[in-house]
Amino acid sequence: MTIQSSLAESEFSLPATLVDWPWKRRLNPFYHQARAESSARFRSFNAISPHAQRAFDLCNFELLASLAYPLESKDVERAGCDLMNLFFAFDAYTDIAVPHEAQQLASIVMDGLRNPDKPRPSGESVIGEIARQFSKISMKCASEVAHRRFIATFDMYTAAVVQETIDRAENHIRSIDDYFLVRRHTIGAMPSFVLLHFELELPEEVFEDPVIQRLENASIDMIILFNDICSYNIEQASGNDGHNIVTIVMHHKQLGLKEAIKWTGDYYLKLEKDFLVDLKSVPSFGKTLDVEVRRYVDGLGNWRSNKAKELYCFLGKFLRHHPYVAQT
């Protein structure tokens, strides 16, 4: 696979990922029904302009959920579709927001998620109603632990997105380590991972285990690296590449574009190996729990095998930087 840089007339090869990856692409059997229902709900909000809505429909973000949650029930599959649309809406609004506006949007979203039975105030951004309906309808299948973890991780996601708007306003380029600390939340992976155990009864001790945490972080970081490479060209063309690993590596390691992409690819391949090694070291939590833990970690591996994420990342960035995306 190659990526064309608008900064130089040359092509750069991406690493041969997933060559020995154990997880193959699978589609949730409830995909078509869930997509139709989720798309209809999102369209009813009139959250984006008609022009952007047509482009949004072509992108089919529900496909991402259907590939990311191939073994989940109809209710979880529908929740996954609705979650992808909630992510898109929040990103679309905050991508063009200044820091105080992004903070207001984050507060509205979190209030909607925490208070699904509270009517949204008149004149408020529609993002509040999108979040409220997601919490009231889409999260009804979540276990108590999953519900609590979803709210906590989505809160971290919105806070990190606000931080990204601050960095953007200040033209701040983070160090590589600091970037990952923020990007692991702005990528939205942790709330997405929670849906993998929506209907499981996994206790907190599972998520506090260091091996499980390493698997989660490795899966997230692989998604970050590949997505950042995919979206780099369109981000730098729009002057919005400050939160992209390629830009950050070029800046801090004094590398050219080709070398920065190679560094990113090499790091990605290391994470692939680390993930597979840690997969063999998952401890036992008891016979009953072990089955559910295995299903969860399989879900983490499957997320990276989901090639739709590259399409999601590229088309999502294109739409969010399109001048007709957000209603004003």
Per-residue confidence (pLDDT) for residue 8, from 0 to 100: 46
Residue in 190, 197, 198, 191 with CA at minimum distance from that of residue 215: 190
Listing DSSP states for 199-230 in one string gives TS---HHHHHSHHHHHHHHHHHHHHHHHHHHH
Neighbours of 292 (CB within 10 A): 15
Average pLDDT for residues 247-273, to the nearest whole number?
Answer: 94
Positive or negative CA dihedral for 27, 33, 34, 40? positive
CA distances from 33 to 28, 153, 183 (A): 10, 28, 32
| pLDDT > 50? residue 249 | yes
Q: What is the chain's mean pLDDT, rounded?
A: 88
Length of the chain: 328
Per-residue confidence (pLDDT) for residue 306, from 0 to 100: 66
Contact (CB, 8 A) for 237 and 6: yes
What is d(CA 227, CA 245) in angstroms, rounded to the nearest whole number?
10
Q: Which residue has the higher pLDDT, 41 or 318?
A: 41
Per-residue confidence (pLDDT) for residue 49, from 0 to 100: 81
Phi, psi of 48 (to 5 degrees): -130, 165
Is residue 326 one of the residues assigned to a domain?
no
Neighbours of 26 (CB within 10 A): 14
Question: Could you tell me the two tokens for 286?
Answer: 């008891």
Q: Which residue has the higher pLDDT, 154 or 229?
A: 154
Neighbours of 298 (CB within 10 A): 15
CA distances from 277 to 253, 271, 304 (A): 28, 10, 16
Is residue 327 one of the residues assigned to a domain?
no
Is residue 13 one of the residues assigned to a domain?
yes
| pLDDT > 60? residue 111 | yes
Amino acid found at 49: S
**DSSP bridge pairs for 48:** 326
**DSSP bridge pairs for 182:** none
Q: Which has the minimum average pLDDT: 46-50, 150-154, 310-314?
A: 310-314
Per-residue confidence (pLDDT) for residue 9, from 0 to 100: 43
Q: Which has the minimum average pLDDT: 126-130, 156-160, 162-166, 314-318?
A: 314-318
Is residue 325 one of the residues assigned to a domain?
no
Highest mean predicted confidence (pLDDT) among 69-83, 237-251, 293-307: 69-83
Phi, psi of 82 (to 5 degrees): -65, -35
Listing DSSP states for 30-98 in one string gives THHHHHHHHHHHHHHTT-B-HHHHHHHHHH-THHHHHHH-TTS-HHHHHHHHHHHHHHHHHHHHHTT--
Is residue 290 one of the residues assigned to a domain?
yes
| pLDDT > 80? residue 316 | no
Location of structure tokens 């009813």: 44
The DSSP H or E segment spanning 269 is helix 257-279
What is the count of structural domains for the chain?
1
Helices 287-305 and 210-237: crossing angle in degrees, nearest 10, is: 20
Amino acid found at 13: S
- Convert the pLDDT of each residue in 74-103 to its tens digit: 999 999 999 999 998 998 899 889 999 999
Residue in 197, 227, 228 with CA at minimum distance from that of residue 212: 197
What is d(CA 176, CA 172) in angstroms, rounded to the nearest whole number?
12
Alpha carbon 197 to chain centroid, angstroms = 17
Supply the range of the domain harboring residue 290: 2-320
| pLDDT > 80? residue 325 | no
> How sure is the predictor about 54, in pLDDT bands with cuts at 50, 70 and 90?
confident
Q: Which has the minimum average pLDDT: 59-68, 277-286, 292-301, 317-326?
A: 317-326
Rg of the chain on CA atoms, in Å: 19
Q: Which residue has the higher pLDDT, 129 or 17?
A: 129
Q: What is the CATH number of the domain that holds 120?
A: 1.10.600.10
Highest mean predicted confidence (pLDDT) among 7-11, 246-250, 313-317: 246-250
Question: Could you tell me the two tokens for 167?
Answer: 């960095």
Q: Which has the minimum average pLDDT: 80-89, 145-154, 157-166, 231-240?
A: 231-240
The model carries a pTM of 0.89
